[in-house]
Structure 1
């Protein structure tokens, strides 16, 4: 059975890879492994070594700490990042395809328009 930390790190790898529009094959080539290994990392079936996680972080242009963000709150340690969070958010926002499609589309919008869309969404959520 996969360790919860390995599953979390794998989800974060998949999320970031997907957000930047990179295939498993391309990521694998970037770090010098087969795409099947990326699949195993993303499901948590295989653990990612520290050096490999470093290489993946570089390929995905994030800090290594990115892969551990949200780990405490996901596994029941309340406190880190939960203050003021809406209670109707899906438990696994990373795994919610609709949410991820929305984020990807949002970042495809030019920054000045994105800022206006963000303000509109904020106003709409306040009146809802």
Structure 2
């Protein structure tokens, strides 16, 4: 018989962990790159806005089938969500990464193709100046 001083092994029962948060952050990053809102993403994968939000925050775990569906909607292989997981980098985005994601989201929101082309040309000119 175990004594009261012995500790039982602890298990996580369907609780999200660092991997879940990392995968959620990768989903959010890709969604933003594509210019999708959380509501649009939720509609595309057939869940509520709240559920999509919980997936991205790593609060709720994502089943294998749902992750496959998300990969299809976002146009990436399932492995994309795990790329870089074993690196020592934090899943938090740097200010520069946040700026790039915001730029991509804003660019995809521009409906006028001439404006998109003009912005793209401006970026090329500015990038060439720094070289």
Separation in structure 1 between the aligned mates of residue 101 and residue 125 of structure 2, nearest angstrom: 15
Distance 1:34 1:103, change over 3 A: closer
* Relative contact order higher in (CA < 8 Å, ≥ 6 apart): 2
Larger radius of gyration: 2
Distance 1:93 1:4, change over 3 A: closer
CA RMSD of aligned residues (A): 2.7
Gaps spanning 5+ residues in structure 2: where?
1-14, 108-115
Number of residue-to-residue matches in the alignment: 106
Task: Give the structure-1-normalised TM-score.
Answer: 0.66
Q: Does 1:48 align with 2:46?
A: no
Task: Give the structure-2-normalised TM-score.
Answer: 0.65
Is contact 1:94–1:100 with CA below 8 Å preserved after alignment? Answer: no
Gaps spanning 5+ residues in structure 1: where?
75-90, 124-128
Q: Does 1:102 align with 2:100?
A: yes
Q: What do the CA deviations read for 1:77-126 (whole angstroms, capped 9, x no partner)?
A: xxxxxxxxxxxxxx5475234423225537957678767766665x4xxx
